[in-house]
């Protein structure tokens, strides 16, 4: 990812950028891709009906991670409250998705991989939120 490089080159960002937020942006995009891929893999499984909730949470988590990454990337102006709320929402979506994927992880490797990605993103969102708190 080039989040650090892009944000550092922004004309209105001066000084040190928040490393926790940069890591969070990168984890959000990574998690969104992983959740999308997991949902797609779930749809290809023979017992797809038993994976309905997993697919739903994968897709919700992917959308929330994507928008969180996009909002956190924007540096023009400031909307700290919305960013903090999105980080909280993203962490919650990742937690719920990881919990659901864990139920299927022994049978489906893609669910294990997705649960791990969700936990990494959840931790990154929580850390970024703490780094923003004044």
Who has greater pLDDT, 45 or 80? 45
Q: Is 61:97 a contact under the CB 8 Å cutoff?
A: yes
**106-118 pLDDT per residue, tens:** 999 999 999 999 9
Count of domains for the chain: 1
Q: Is 25:72 a contact under the CB 8 Å cutoff?
A: yes
What is the structure's pLDDT at 79? Answer: 80
**Residue spans of alpha helices (H) in the chain:** 3-9, 19-44, 52-73, 80-104, 109-132
What is the structure's pLDDT at 15? Answer: 37
10 found inside a domain: no
What is the structure's pLDDT at 38? Answer: 98
DSSP type of residue 47:
T
What is the structure's pLDDT at 74? Answer: 83
93 found inside a domain: yes
What is the Cα–Cα distance from 133 to 59, expressed in whole angstroms? 29
Question: CATH code at 77?
Answer: 1.20.1270.360
Q: Which of 68, 78, 84 is nearest to 130 (CA)?
A: 84
89 found inside a domain: yes
9 found inside a domain: no
What is the structure's pLDDT at 19? Answer: 86
- Structural domain that includes position 62: 17-132
**4-61 pLDDT per residue, tens:** 655 655 556 543 358 899 999 999 999 999 999 999 999 999 999 999 999 999 999 9
Residues whose CB is less than 8 angstroms from the CB of residue 103 and which lie 6 or more positions away in sequence, other chains included: 54, 111
2 found inside a domain: no
**94-107 pLDDT per residue, tens:** 999 999 999 999 99
24 found inside a domain: yes
What is the Cα–Cα distance from 68 to 28, expressed in whole angstroms? 7
80 found inside a domain: yes
- What backbone torsions phi and psi does residue 104 show, to the nearest 5 degrees? -110, 0
12 found inside a domain: no
């Amino acid at each position: 990812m080039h989040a650090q490089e892009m944000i550092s080159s922004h004309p209105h960002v001066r000084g040190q950028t928040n490393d926790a937020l940069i890591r969070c942006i990168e984890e959000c995009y990574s998690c969104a891709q992983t959740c999308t891929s997991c949902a797609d893999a779930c749809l290809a499984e023979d017992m797809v009906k038993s994976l309905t909730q997993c697919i739903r949470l994968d897709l919700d988590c992917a959308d929330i991670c994507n928008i969180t990454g996009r909002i956190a990337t924007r540096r023009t102006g400031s909307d700290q409250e919305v960013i903090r709320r999105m980080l909280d929402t993203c962490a919650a979506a990742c937690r719920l998705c990881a919990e659901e994927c864990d139920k299927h992880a022994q049978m489906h490797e893609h669910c294990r991989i997705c649960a791990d990605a969700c936990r990494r993103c959840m931790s990154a969102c929580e850390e970024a939120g703490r780094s923003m708190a004044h």
